[in-house]
Structures are given as structure tokens and as C-alpha cells.
Amino acid sequence: MASLTASPAPGAPSERLAIAVSCVARRLALGERTEEELDAALEALTPNTTMTGFYSYGEIALARGGQTRIHNQTMTVTVLGERQ
């Protein structure tokens, strides 16, 4: 997964970092459309946001009933930044 930047104003520094974690199974399911998904995620972010990420083999998270399960074919995005 390559690093991408949402259209910042010319000369403006990046103020936010988005970390995308996508499942390898999702990559296999989407094929060449993976880039479209990344572009859509980047469009949803505010300007001056740099996105980077990596592929995983699923995410571990809570499921219904409060039990921990592995989730497959998912993509999560975490955004880090400062309030001004």
C-alpha cells in the first residue's frame, strides 16, 4: 500500500496522518479495484492528511455478544492529528 496525500493547499504541511489497515483477503476480492477504495477513503479525509498503511491477515475485534473474533475482508482507518 503506497502513501497518499489528500489535496493540501500549496506549500501547506501535512497536519494529519491516516493509517489504513486492509485485509489481504479484501485485496484478493477487490483485485484492481483496490486503488478505487483507497481513493474513496482519501477523498473522505480532510485536506492536509497523509495516508499510509499495510495489509494484514484480518483484524481482531469485538463481535456481537462481546466476544472477540477475527474479522476478515475488512479495512480500518485510524486518523491521528492535533486540535488547534
Per-residue confidence of the chain (84 residues) as pLDDT tens digits?
555 555 555 544 458 899 999 989 888 899 989 889 888 988 998 888 899 999 998 788 888 888 998 888 888 899 998 776
pLDDT at 10: 52
pLDDT at 6: 54
Gap between the Cα atoms of 47 and 16, Å rounded? 9
pLDDT at 5: 53
* Domains: count for the chain: 1
pTM of the model: 0.69
**Lookup result for grid cell 485485496:** 27
Contacts of 3 (CB under 8 A, 6+ apart): 50, 51, 52
Contact status, residue 23 vs residue 30, Cβ threshold 8 Å: no
Contact status, residue 76 vs residue 37, Cβ threshold 8 Å: no
Q: Which domain holds residue 32?
A: 4-81
Gap between the Cα atoms of 81 and 23, Å rounded? 24
